[in-house]
Amino acid sequence: MSVRDQTKTFRPDIEGLRGIAILLVVLFHCDVPGLSGGFVGVDVFFVLSGFLITGMLVDEIQRTSKLSLLQFYARRVRRLLPASVLALVATLLMGAILLAPRELEWAGHAGQAAALYMSNIFFDKNAGDYFGPDLKFNPLLHTWSLAVEEQFYVFWPLLIVVSMRYCRSRAGLVSALAGLTMISFGVGLWFTLKGGTFAFYELPARAWEFGVGGLAALLPRKMLKLPVGWWLAVGWLGLLAIFGMGHFFITRDDTSFPGWVALIPTMGTVAVLVAWSEHPHRGVGVVLASAPLQLIGRFSYSWYLWHWPFLVFAVALVPTISIVGKVTAAIAALAVAGLSYYFIENPIRYHPSLLKRPVLSVCLAGAVTTCLLGAALLSIRFSMQLTMDPHIKAITAAIDDISRLPRGQCVTSKQSAEVKTCEFGNKRSEISVILFGDSHAIQWFNPLERLAESNGWRLTTVVKSACSAFDVTLAGDSAEQIGACAKWREDALAQIVAMRPTVVFLGNATGVLAKDPRNPVSLEDVRDGTRRTLQALKGLRVAIMRDGPVFPYDIPTCLARSSRHSWYPDGACEANRLAVLNPAVFEAEKAGALGLADINFIDMTDHLCQKDVCRPNRGDTVIYRDHQHLTGDFADSLVESLATELLPLVKASPRRSLTPVESQRPRHNSHNTHDS
């Protein structure tokens, strides 16, 4: 009896693995400490799907000499669609009540994509826009993995049918599946190294995980003659690999995974499945068959559908929610999942009329999908109506208020190493200011351009998205992104030195470093990286802007929710100064400059925060366009304050004389600032 033969009967190990996988994912999303890699539960689900579907399809072909694709798709529809439609519609309805208009709009777009089983493509396409909306708290973000599975269900049966027809042997089928699996694995490796989100979200880079599960289903039993103790060890090591990745693996975003490290939870899952097949009632099988894991595994699909919307809405209701609060929300989602399982999923899945009429199942799927598309469209239209409110309109406008700098022509993308330079102001002036750094440099373009225009300076921009002017490597970036950033920085520094500017104005997103516990950049790294960059600029006058506050939530979203709901507490979008600023990083930057000549620090913190509180707006002006970047409008309002800090540095340059406009301004002494 082969492993595939056992897929005909219930396997408690698969149910138990589902329980482990969903627990890893949910607790990871709840930010429970010690589960920084809990997202690998999705990889476990992919392997299990490949194992089950392959075994089921091959078994049907061998029993009946054919495969009914209609029956297969009808079974998938009855199994997956009822719960997902209920969860999606409920999520959009709750979103219409709780979310900010911009959030609701993007939830509607995600709902449209989810209805068409393409939400993975939607999130891949939009996640790559550095200046676009932050989709990390979209209530339908989790549907990306369901879309990957549904796409797999479309092409995998066709592949098996074609392989069985032309190969006419199980060995030929194994060869075909192995070849496809290896190609997909290569695609995943390539795009992970290349950077971006394709490897994380798209089926071609993930199909190998399903393929590994499918190949495991075709393994003949007793192929390896191992003692019982060895098989038990294989099972425990497989489970250890899954939990080990869930505990130890750290990634900053969805651009550094899956890569080769996804082999660990994938092969760990296969090890458990094969070990259970050899000795089902011993070793790891005893744990997987335990009642709690069986119950959680039974509800795993519904719980996956409900847990993320519950967490997103919990944060919308309580912006400062704790880990305990998130876990409570996840438990509430589990209760709803249980109700969905017993009253929606199973009754429809096993309804006698649908079991006898596969065509009816498929036709109903089309009708329900159409209704879901309509619900998503209504959500988008309702969000548009909400934006007509004057207060909401002002907040929404702040989201796209980046700066006047033409990004396409003047900003180097994350994946590129090309040094783009653009000039503004008086391009023939001997007085030259260079704006150098990442997006936190770009946010100061507006006031710098105004100063250049009013004083007759030449302003040159040398900026790149997500690449610090300081020689600091952010954890989680792909090898290609790290290489592109290093090459850009090296070439940019060489060009800046060759330009011999009056002042180099540096802006860097260093304040975010200690705000991300998954980003292990040390203060020593900041100090040393700062010094390496400043040494490369030796002989030039440098002005380093202290980085601003980094909030734990999106400011326009918080303000829009507050505007919509009277029950939002006063000051809900404000933050304690010490909670959003990072004095230690600023001190590390100053330590890196210690002993170097012509290095000056500019600290605008008192213009961003008042005493112990950092507020999100000043009057009708929204200060931040997200959780850390200033709006162009607010940055413009700081032009005089910035002039007070920057003009003395320009005047002190030994390489030029004052312009008539500058000579009328009062003198100020440049200074190194310290945090209050």
Task: Summarize pLDDT for 70-115 with one digit per residue, the tens.
Answer: 999 999 999 999 999 999 999 999 999 999 999 999 999 999 999 9
Q: Which two tokens stand for residue 123?
A: 């999130």
Q: Which two tokens stand for residue 94?
A: 């709750």
- φ/ψ of 602, rounded to 5, equals -115, 125
Task: Report the alpha-carbon distance of residue 170 to residue 161 in Å, rounded.
Answer: 12
How much is the CA Rg of the chain, to the nearest whole Å?
A: 28
| Weakest mean pLDDT among 162-176, 193-207, 366-380, 540-554 | 162-176
Task: Summarize pLDDT for 522-566 with one digit per residue, the tens.
Answer: 889 999 999 999 999 999 999 999 999 999 889 999 999 988 888
Contacts of 539 (CB under 8 A, 6+ apart): 497, 598
Asked if 56 and 7 count as a contact pair (C-beta separation under 8 A), the reply is: yes
Task: Report the alpha-carbon distance of residue 674 to residue 676 in Å, rounded.
Answer: 6
Angle between helix 358-386 and 101-115 (nearest 10): 160
- φ/ψ of 459, rounded to 5, equals -110, 125
Asked if 506 and 545 count as a contact pair (C-beta separation under 8 A), the reply is: yes
* Highest mean pLDDT of the ranges 3-17, 131-145, 344-358: 344-358
Task: Report the alpha-carbon distance of residue 370 to residue 660 in Å, rounded.
Answer: 68
Residue 120 has pLDDT above 80, yes or no: yes
Whole-prediction pTM: 0.85
The proportion of the chain whose per-residue pLDDT surpasses 90, expressed as a percent, equals 71
Task: Report the alpha-carbon distance of residue 556 to residue 341 in Å, rounded.
Answer: 37
Q: Is 141 exposed, middle or buried (0-12, 13-18, 19+ CB in 10 A)?
A: buried
The proportion of the chain whose per-residue pLDDT surpasses 70, expressed as a percent, equals 91
Contacts of 582 (CB under 8 A, 6+ apart): 510, 511, 513, 514, 515, 547, 550
Task: Report the alpha-carbon distance of residue 11 to residue 133 in Å, rounded.
Answer: 43
What distance lies between CA 469 and its chain's CA centroid? 24
Angle between helix 41-64 and 170-194 (nearest 10): 160
* Predicted pLDDT at 63: 85
* Predicted pLDDT at 655: 52
- φ/ψ of 610, rounded to 5, equals -115, 110
The predicted model gives 125-151 an average pLDDT of 85
* Predicted pLDDT at 610: 86
* Predicted pLDDT at 607: 94
Which run of H or E residues covers position 330?
helix 323-340
Task: Summarize pLDDT for 204-260 with one digit per residue, the tens.
Answer: 999 999 999 999 999 887 667 888 899 999 999 999 999 999 998 876 555 668 889
Higher model confidence: residue 196 or residue 323? 323
Q: How confident is the model at residue 514 (pLDDT cuts 50, 70, 90)?
A: low
Contacts of 628 (CB under 8 A, 6+ apart): 440, 509, 511, 512, 548, 549, 550, 551
What is the four-CA torsion angle of 235, 241, 243, 249, rounded to 10 degrees? -170
* Predicted pLDDT at 9: 67
